[in-house]
Amino acid sequence: MASFGHRLRRAGLKFASNAIATKTVPLSLARPIVSFTFDDFPRSAATVGADVLERHGARGTYYASGSLCGRTEDGIGYYGPEDLVSLHDRGHEIGSHTFGHTRTSTMTRTAIEEDVEKNHAFLKGILPGLVLEDFAYPFGDASPVSKLVLQRHYSSCRGTGEGLNVNRADLGLLKAVAPGEHQSGRGKVVEAIADAVERKGWLIFYTHDVIETPTRWGCSPQLLDEAVGHAVHSGAAVLTIREALAVISRRGEG
């Protein structure tokens, strides 16, 4: 468990990272947007999760850590090369989540740059021609330094700070919402989507495994199905992160 000093340092970095918002864009959306994203990512997100999305005609964004490819840890099987190929072919977005799945606040500028290259080389080794546009911070952990370095490399960087992106979006540290467990998650999902629709914001869900008895970071197939179905019927556009950014930048020009 992290010591008090560690937690204090993290809280300070979190505050400073949010305060340094040098990559913000106005969000004047004609139609609210909901995005579904998966971190790491467990194989079940690529199989069960992708099937749920596709049943509703939607696609997701999968943030991959190269070091997790083909691994099984704590009973969770992670994606393999064939999952990356399959997701990509079916129109899902592949994003980056560092190679080493490391807290970026603990890394030097050089280490971050090297890790970015390593993950890109690894993923492009499986999917030549892959363009990695979007990033998610492992553990949602950012520092002012890591944020400034990473937001130069990517169109967007997503954290785990809970909330709706509304009025202005910080593309260096996008807010997101975890659906949570099925019992409590259902109400939370419905509320978050209603809020996004009312305020015409960009709601980004993030999760990990999609299994019947999910880990505390995951989500059951039923809850994901309800969330995607609800989002589709809410009148929001259900888009990958890349597609959402294309809509947002078009609005910005007009």
Residue numbers at the binding site for Zn ion (CB under 5 A): 39-40, 138
Tell me how far, at minimum, the Cβ of 204 lies from Zn ion, in Å: 15
Residue closer to Zn ion, measured from CB, 40 or 170: 40
Q: Where do the DSSP E strands lie in the chain? A: 24-27, 33-40, 61-64, 72-73, 76-77, 93-96, 134-136, 156-162, 167-170, 174-176, 202-207, 237-238
Tell me how far, at minimum, the Cβ of 253 lies from Zn ion, in Å: 33
d(CA 102, CA 12): 19
Residue closer to Zn ion, measured from CB, 42 or 138: 138
Helix or strand holding residue 141 (H, E): none
Residue closer to Zn ion, measured from CB, 204 or 236: 204
Residue closer to Zn ion, measured from CB, 73 or 198: 73
Tell me how far, at minimum, the Cβ of 140 lies from Zn ion, in Å: 8
Tell me how far, at minimum, the Cβ of 65 lies from Zn ion, in Å: 6
Residue closer to Zn ion, measured from CB, 40 or 209: 40
Angstrom distances, CA of residue 143 to CA of 99, 104, 240: 18, 7, 25
Instruction: Tell me if 178 sits within 8 A of 203, measured CB to CB.
Output: no
Q: Which residues of 42-53 are buried (b: 16+ CB within 10 A; e: fewer)?
A: bbbbbbbbbebb
d(CA 152, CA 143): 14
What amino acid occupies position 67? S
CB nearest Zn ion: which residue?
39
What amino acid occupies position 171? L
- Residue appearing with tokens 């840890």: 73
Tell me how far, at minimum, the Cβ of 169 lies from Zn ion, in Å: 21
Tell me how far, at minimum, the Cβ of 217 lies from Zn ion, in Å: 8
Residue closer to Zn ion, measured from CB, 172 or 218: 218
Q: Give the count of beta carbons closer than 10 Å to the beta carbon of residue 8.
A: 11
